[in-house]
Amino acid sequence: MRIRLRYLAIALLILTGITATVALTHMNSFPAFIVVAPGYLVQASLFETHRALGGFGYQVTMVGVSALVWTLIILALVVAVRLLRRFVRRLRRA
C-alpha cells in the first residue's frame, strides 16, 4: 500500500496545526516551545520591523508558520526515505 504524498501532506498539515495550537497554549514546557519556535522566530522578526501582529493575528502567525515548517521538515524526511528505499531496491535487482 502506497500513500500519495499530497494526502500525506494534507494530513500532516492538519496534525501539525493541531499540535502547534496545543503547544501555543502550553508554552511553559520545553517541547511545546520547540514546536512553536519557527512561528516565534517569524513573529520576532515582524516585531523588529514594526509589523508585528497582535491578538488573533499573533496566534495565527505562530500556529500557521510552525505547522508549515514542521510539515515541510517531515515531508522532506519522507521523500528522502522513499528515494533511499527505491535506490536500495534497484541495487538489489542489479
Give the pLDDT confidence of 3-31 residue by residue, as tens digits. Answer: 899 999 999 999 999 999 999 998 889 99
Q: Any idea what DSSP says for residue 29?
A: S
Cα–Cα distance measured from residue 65 to residue 73, given in angstroms and rounded to the nearest whole number: 12
Residue 11 to residues 20, 52, 79, 86, 92: CA-CA distances in angstroms? 14, 29, 15, 24, 33
**What ranges do the domains of the chain cover?**
5-93
Cell of 23: 503547544
Per-residue pLDDT of 36-73, as tens digits, reads 999 999 999 998 998 888 889 989 999 999 999 999 99
Q: Tell me the C-alpha distance between 45 and 8, whole Å.
A: 30
